[in-house]
Structures are given as C-alpha cells and as structure tokens.
Structure 1
Amino acid sequence: MRVIAWLVEGTWPACVDAVRAHAPDDAEVVLLHVSGADVPGVAHGAFAGLFGRAHPRGHRDEGWGSDPGDRVEALGGTSAAALLDTAAERLGRPCAREERSGRVEREVVAAAEGAGLLVLARDGDRSRLGPKSLGPAVRFAVDHAPCPVLLVWPEPAPGLATIPPPPPHRP
C-alpha cells in the first residue's frame, strides 16, 4: 500500500503522527509538499510591472536588476526541503519525499493516483466542528481524491457543542 501524507506548514505534524498511527508497517510512505506557483508569479509580475521587461543599465547598477520572483522560488524550495526533512525525522521510518509545484489542490490529487491512502489535515476554521474547518484546497482534495482519505485535526478536535445549529426550517 502506498500512503501519501500531504504536508503543509502549520499542520504537518498531525499528518505525520496519523501516518505513524494508521499506516501499515510495510506501507510505502510518501511525504508530499506542494508549493503554489502563484507566489513567485506575483513577485515576477510586480517586478515586471515596476520596471518593465527590459532592465535599464541604471537599475542593474543600483541593485534593482534581479527579479525577486527568482529569490522567492529559491527560498520556497529550501523551505519545502527543510520541512520534508523534519517530517521524515519525526516519522522515524523509511519514506520518500516528493516536492511538487503548481495548483496545489490538483497536484495533491494527482499525487494520490494509485495510492491506498491520502492523509491530510483540516486547514480552515478549527474552532468548531463543521464544513468550514476545510479550506478550499483541502475540500477539493477530499472531494476529488482517487483513494481513501484520512482527514485529521491538527490539534484536538473541538467539542460537540460547537456543531452549528440546524437551519431554522428543519425541526
């Protein structure tokens, strides 16, 4: 069985702990991190908008000639690698590490193709039970995953008293 654990900054420890608790010992574990292509793209676009496509000689001489989008991409890759290394250490068993970039929710679903289990964490409003505890990317992955999904709370789940009341038209 192949188990994919989607790791996101802030919620990844819960996913790693869930793999430790629920994945069979002989499972192939893949720690997955997906970087959205939008952040470096915004930096590239802002730079192009401010300085145009050509780099006037004066800008380069004043230190303005390097596109900050390139630096954002490099920092994101370093950050993802560090997160995957820390997660692998916490997991404490052999695993593969996979980094992807693109539309996050679609990359997660694509990575889960052929897997026996996808582990992911709630990323929305975690102060109460209910559908708002899932952000858009997690909701997409849950709805479109081509395999079983284990959805975990990154911290202890709120109590049952936090369930929203039924709509007024229901008894």
Structure 2
Amino acid sequence: MAVLVWVVEGTWPACVDAAKAYPNADITLLHVSGHDVPHAAHGAFAGLLGRRGLDPGTTLESLASTSGSDLLASAASRLGRPCTRLERSGRVEREVVAAAEGAELLVVARDGDHGRPGPKSLGPASRYVVDHAPCPVLLVWAGESGHGGWG
C-alpha cells in the first residue's frame, strides 16, 4: 500500500502518527513550499527601480527550502522507519493533489477552526485537496486529543 503523508508545519505530527497505523505501507512524506510569498517579495523588489541589493525573494526561497527539509527530517525521525521524502514547490493544494496520483491513501490534517467541526475545520488548501484528491483521504485532527482523531 502506498501512503502519502502531507507534512505541514504545525500539523505534521498527527499525520505521521496516523501513518504509523499502516506498518506494511510504503510511506512517502510530502512537503510543499508555496511560491506566493517569495513571488511577492520578488515583485516588490522589482518595483524598486534603480535600487541595488539582494532580492529578498531569493532569500525567502532558500529559507522555505531549508524549512521544508527540516520538517521532512523531523517527520521521518518520528515515523521511525524507512520512507521516501518528497519536496515540491508551487501552488500547495495543486502540488499535493498531483503528488497523490498513484497513492492508495493520502493523510491530511485538519487545519481550520477546531471549534467548528465540518467545513470550517479545513483551511482553503486542505479543502481543495480533500475535494480533488485522486485517492482516499484519511483526515485527522492535529495537536489535540479527544476529537476522535490522532494527535
């Protein structure tokens, strides 16, 4: 069984813990760095015509890559068994859906308002992923126990 675990800052531990319930699965840990913040910084820098200096968008891209690698390393350590690490960048929700092609299960954490079960318990990117995933989705609560989920 191929299981894809979406690793997102703040919610990844619950997703990794949920994946542990599949001891014979081939686990892939996925982190996606969004391009919106570095893109905005590139644009802002480009708007400063005649200014010299380092483009802050380049710095932000580097920081995002380092952060993603660190999250994947932490997730792999928590999983405690061999797994594949996959880093992507772009529109987060679209990259997750594309990465889930061929997976037999996608593990996603709720990232919205925990006080409002239902649609409000998912942020926009998670909602898109749940609605468009090409495989079954295991949706878990992150960070709080007692919600019927992992974590």
Inter-partner Cα distance in structure 2 for 1:158 and 1:146? 26
Secondary structure of 2:54's partner? Answer: coil
Per the alignment, residue 5 of structure 2 pairs with: 5
Q: Which amino acid aligns with 1:44?
A: H
**Deviation of the 1:134 alpha carbon:** 0.7
Match of 1:43 among 41, 44, 63: 41
Secondary structure of 1:151's partner? Answer: strand
Q: Deviations over 1:105-132 (max 9, x none)?
A: 1100000001010001001101232210
Output the TM-score relative to the length of structure 2.
0.93
Secondary structure of 1:82's partner? Answer: helix
Q: Deviations over 1:83-118 (max 9, x none)?
A: 100110000010000000111111000000010100
Inter-partner Cα distance in structure 2 for 1:128 and 1:120? 18
- Unaligned residue ranges in structure 2 (runs of 5+): none
Per the alignment, residue 109 of structure 2 pairs with: 121
Larger radius of gyration: 1
Q: Identity over the aligned pairs, expressed in percent? A: 69
Per the alignment, residue 93 of structure 2 pairs with: 105
Per the alignment, residue 168 of structure 1 pairs with: none
Per the alignment, residue 54 of structure 2 pairs with: 66
Q: Which amino acid aligns with 1:102?
A: G
Match of 2:128 among 129, 136, 140: 140
Asked if 2 retains the 8 angstrom alpha-carbon contact of 1:129 and 1:158, the reply is no
Inter-partner Cα distance in structure 2 for 1:149 and 1:29? 14
Asked if 2 retains the 8 angstrom alpha-carbon contact of 1:101 and 1:107, the reply is yes
Gap change, CA 1:158 and 1:92, over 3 Å in 2: closer
**Backbone CA RMSD of aligned residues:** 1.3
Inter-partner Cα distance in structure 2 for 1:153 and 1:97? 22
Q: Which amino acid aligns with 1:138?
A: S
Per the alignment, residue 18 of structure 1 pairs with: 18
Output the TM-score relative to the length of structure 1.
0.82
Q: Which amino acid aligns with 2:102?
A: G
